Amino acid sequence: MSTIMSRRDLDFLLHEWLGTDQLLARARFADHSRDTVDAVLDLAEQVATTHFAPHNRASDLNEPTYDGTRVTVIPEVGVALRAFADAGFLSAAVHAPGESPVPASVFAACMSWFQAANAGTSGYALLTMAAANLLRAHGTPEQVERYAVPMTDGRWFGTMMLSEPHAGSNLADITTRAEPQRDGTYRLFGRKMWISGGDHEITENIVHLVLARTPGAPAGTKGISLFVVPKLLVGDDGSLGERNDITLAGINHKMGFRGTVNTAPVLGDGASRPGGAAGAVGHLVGVENRGMALMFSMMNEARIGVGLCAAAIGYTGYLESLAYARERLQGRPVGADPTTPQVPLVDHPDVRRMLLAQKSYVEGALALVLLAARLFDDAETAEDAADREQAAALLGLLTPVVKSWPSQYGPAANDLAIQVLGGAGYTRDFDVEQHYRDNRLNPIHEGTHGIQALDLLGRKVMLDGGKSLGLLVGRIQATADRARATGPDGAALADRLAAACSDLVATTAQLATLGDPARMLADATAYLEATGHVVVAWIWLDQWLAAHGKEGGFYDGKRAAAWFFLTRELPKVAAMLALLRDADGLTLGLDPDVL
């Protein structure tokens, strides 16, 4: 049994819960069937197991180096990514003419294998797919042909260059300049920061998508444009030319996630002089000053990718600690005779608690991400326009939750995995300590936890007057109604969910009446966390329904985890919502000098 991911659970979520058969019946997926879905999942497991998992620790122990000229990563990374591309995963989800994409939800299930096996190596692939998808969506046909196609082929990799040293979370303040040239290109000058995959020699070229300001652009996010800036210039025939004027100020040395090189690029300092002049040559994507919107189509994809990564790292830690707890003999039940043999760790109730908590977190998080991917599929392919719109609205609402909830509870699961192993879990002889370090990145990158909270409450819930939230509440109520119809157990769980959901709705309504946006948003993080718990409780009740009436250990496990989440986790929501309703302004009004 693999300790990377659970194929059984993926099959359950895709087929018994999300009803992927109905999705496959749609025209877009005409070339697919349960058999092809099974085959692509088999392939993901095989490539992840063979090429990704074996060097996960090696990438941690031998992090990328930069000698002032080149970035070196261990060779296994390139080999794995070549295998990933050769197996067709870089192109599997691309919706391009002549392609027969797998659904996004099936693709996310595949990616969970790679993320769980080796998040660091997977990072290069995810960035490349996101960059290629952005160009396919918003680039000219020539940009697609010249830059997106080589990325989809795996010959070149991609990056997203947003942050700058003085502007990390706050992109409104970026200052990288893009000066228009007579030939229609731009020259870029500035410093970037926190750029994953920003340089390496895994591929012969790297396609950077860079945010910058053109002369006279408005202040703030309304004056930001998006550019394609290749590491090596590309000729009209696709041939590689001169080195572009991009170098590195250095690389960042992280606590975890070390396999993905993280860089501080410098554009236009004259280290190279393409065409005889300093300045990094870039090509505008879309029109000037609309770069943030374009980048956000990539960012939304990246945020769901972060959620999947956090869920997957949490998941593999759960499976590893479970395997350890079944094997390791230690102690005896309360009151047992000391001359009897020791029992496996899993026989201790507190160890079971730690395993069941992990199970409820990681299976809940994975289901949440797959649901988001399914909403993406529905938004693209549902037959009814209203269904497509609803799916898009729900996906928009849930994106901050999909990014942040797994990023909070995946690490919480990894923390418990260490605790199950005890001292052994704290050593580098086992992988759970690396998971704990690797997963700690996820609440930070692609928009911190606090920024997701502002996005959820300030934009997604309030800007449409609660309409998207209403859609979510409708789905939650429908699940609760179905659960009630199954009998007393289902009704007991449904009542808990419905009460928490009503509490969330009432709290939202009260926040809406506050008027003052600063006051409304002061405790947005509590709102994000409460919403996340309600959403995951809903997903657990929905999984409980998918397991209802089915016999066997797998379904008993689903029932136990659902019960655990709805009875032991969901009650935490009450305290969060109470403080939101109090709206005491404690942090808003606090004089920071007293800290």
Active site residue 446: yes
Name which position in 35, 384, 429, 551 contacts a copy of itself (CB under 8 A). 429
- Cβ at position 376, least distance to a copy of itself in Å: 27
- Cβ at position 411, least distance to a copy of itself in Å: 8
Of the residues 164, 446, 529, 569, only one is catalytic, namely: 446
Look-up: residue for tokens 């979520």? 13
Looking at the Cβ atoms of 290 and 437, the one nearer to a copy of itself is: 437
CA distance 258 to 218: 37
Q: Which residues of 279-305 are buried (b: 16+ CB within 10 A; e: fewer)?
A: bbbbbbbbebbbbbebbeebbbbbbbb
CA distance 247 to 266: 5
- Using CB under 8 A as the binding rule, whether residue 34 contacts a copy of itself is answered as no
- Cβ at position 40, least distance to a copy of itself in Å: 28
Look-up: residue for tokens 């100020």? 249
| Residue type at position 152 | T
**Contacting a copy of itself within 511-530 (CB under 8 A):** 517-518, 521-525
- Using CB under 8 A as the binding rule, whether residue 324 contacts a copy of itself is answered as no
CA distance 559 to 328: 26
Phi, psi of 213 (to 5 degrees): -110, 135
Looking at the Cβ atoms of 152 and 531, the one nearer to a copy of itself is: 531
CA atoms within 13 A on the CB side of 322: 20
Looking at the Cβ atoms of 107 and 564, the one nearer to a copy of itself is: 564
Strand 205-212 relative to strand 195-196, pairing: unpaired
- Cβ at position 89, least distance to a copy of itself in Å: 28
Three-class DSSP category at 243? strand
- Using CB under 8 A as the binding rule, whether residue 487 contacts a copy of itself is answered as no
Looking at the Cβ atoms of 235 and 517, the one nearer to a copy of itself is: 517
Looking at the Cβ atoms of 36 and 448, the one nearer to a copy of itself is: 448
**Could you tell me the end-to-end alpha-carbon distance of the chain, in angstroms, rounded to an integer?**
51
Give the number of residues in contact with a copy of itself, rule: CB under 8 A.
Answer: 101
**Contacting a copy of itself within 157-186 (CB under 8 A):** 163, 166-170, 172-173
Name which position in 215, 488, 549, 592 contacts a copy of itself (CB under 8 A). 592
- Using CB under 8 A as the binding rule, whether residue 190 contacts a copy of itself is answered as no
- Cβ at position 421, least distance to a copy of itself in Å: 9
CA distance 239 to 203: 14
Q: Which of 391, 260, 261, 313 is nearest to 111 (CA)?
A: 313
Long-range contacts of 562-566 (CB under 8 A, 24+ apart): 562/360, 562/493, 563/493, 564/356, 564/357, 564/359, 564/360, 565/360, 565/364, 565/536, 565/537, 565/540, 566/493, 566/496, 566/497, 566/537, 566/540, 566/541
* Residues paired with residue 282 on neighbouring β-strands, in sequence order: 186
- Cβ at position 352, least distance to a copy of itself in Å: 4
Name which position in 7, 49, 79, 194 contacts a copy of itself (CB under 8 A). 194
Which x/- pattern, by CB under 8 A, does the window 455-484 give for a copy of itself? ---x--------------------------
- Using CB under 8 A as the binding rule, whether residue 352 contacts a copy of itself is answered as yes
Q: Tokens in use for 448?
A: 């911190």
**Contacting a copy of itself within 211-250 (CB under 8 A):** 219-221
**Contacting a copy of itself within 431-450 (CB under 8 A):** 433, 436-437, 440-441, 443-445, 448-450
Looking at the Cβ atoms of 149 and 322, the one nearer to a copy of itself is: 322
**Contacting a copy of itself within 563-582 (CB under 8 A):** 563-564, 567-568, 571-572, 574-575, 578-579, 582
Q: Which of 161, 159, 151, 126 is nearest to 52 (CA)?
A: 126
CA angle 154, 242, 85 (to 5 degrees): 5
- Cβ at position 328, least distance to a copy of itself in Å: 9
Looking at the Cβ atoms of 180 and 331, the one nearer to a copy of itself is: 331
Piece of the chain touching a copy of itself by CB under 8 A; list 125-133, 135-143, 332-340, 396-404: 332-340
- Using CB under 8 A as the binding rule, whether residue 334 contacts a copy of itself is answered as yes
- Cβ at position 251, least distance to a copy of itself in Å: 10
| Residue type at position 544 | W
Active-site positions read 446
